[in-house]
Amino acid sequence: MAADNSYQADEKMLAQAHPAFRYVVIFGKDKIGAFTECTLPTIDWEIEEVKEGGMNTRTHQLPGRRKAARLTLKYGVCKDTLWEWYKDVMDETFVRKNITVQLLGVTGTVITGWYIQDAYPVKWTGPQLQTDSTAIAIQTLEFACGEVSFDPPDSSQADGRRN
């Protein structure tokens, strides 16, 4: 019965959110936040340049390590689950979690998603609160990312690989 209540709470959170909240953050099957903007990680590689003696026309470029990647979500609302995770990280309990970020269409259907392994929150920026402002609970939330992969909405493996 608790699972039904959790599902209803997820749907209620999304129903009450403005339609602009199109990016949903998911742990396992639990929707924990909705955001209006999402900047996916830039995934690039370090390049090691090797100069070969006697070859003056070019430099060999060998692939190195993947550079650090970060996911940024802006202008959002969330459940306490996300804040508790951030507090754990602040207390130096670095709990890495696998998360999914889904892009929703106007009707709330999933258009696409991204699966991020070993993520943890590294930056939380709150809004500047003013009585005449309509600012929301989270201005910016940034995650350090492990492996990032495309997660289509009809993926048959999706449920098996999430926390």
Q: What confidence tens digit (pLDDT) does each residue in 42-54 have? A: 888 899 999 988 8
Confidence of residue 2 (pLDDT cuts 50, 70, 90): very low
Task: Supply the pLDDT for residue 48.
Answer: 92
CATH number, domain of 135, equals 2.30.110
Q: Is the pLDDT reported for residue 59 higher than 60? A: yes
Task: Supply the pLDDT for residue 49.
Answer: 92
Task: Supply the pLDDT for residue 111.
Answer: 86
Predicted confidence (pLDDT) per residue in 66-109, tens digit: 888 899 988 888 888 888 888 888 888 778 889 899 988 877 78
Give domain status of residue 51, yes or no: no
60-66 and 148-150 strand pairing: unpaired
Range of the domain at 138: 2-43+60-161
Domain count, the chain: 1
Give domain status of residue 128, yes or no: yes
Give domain status of residue 50, yes or no: no
Give domain status of residue 49, yes or no: no
Backbone φ/ψ region at 103: left (φ over 0), alpha (ψ -120 to 50), beta: beta
What's this model's pTM, rounded to 2 decimal places? Answer: 0.68
Give domain status of residue 18, yes or no: yes
| DSSP H helical ranges for 26-126 | 80-90
Task: Supply the pLDDT for residue 158.
Answer: 41
Give domain status of residue 55, yes or no: no
Backbone φ/ψ region at 152: left (φ over 0), alpha (ψ -120 to 50), beta: beta
Least Cα distance to 142 among 51, 49, 72 occurs for: 72
- pLDDT above 70 covers a percentage of the chain that reads 73
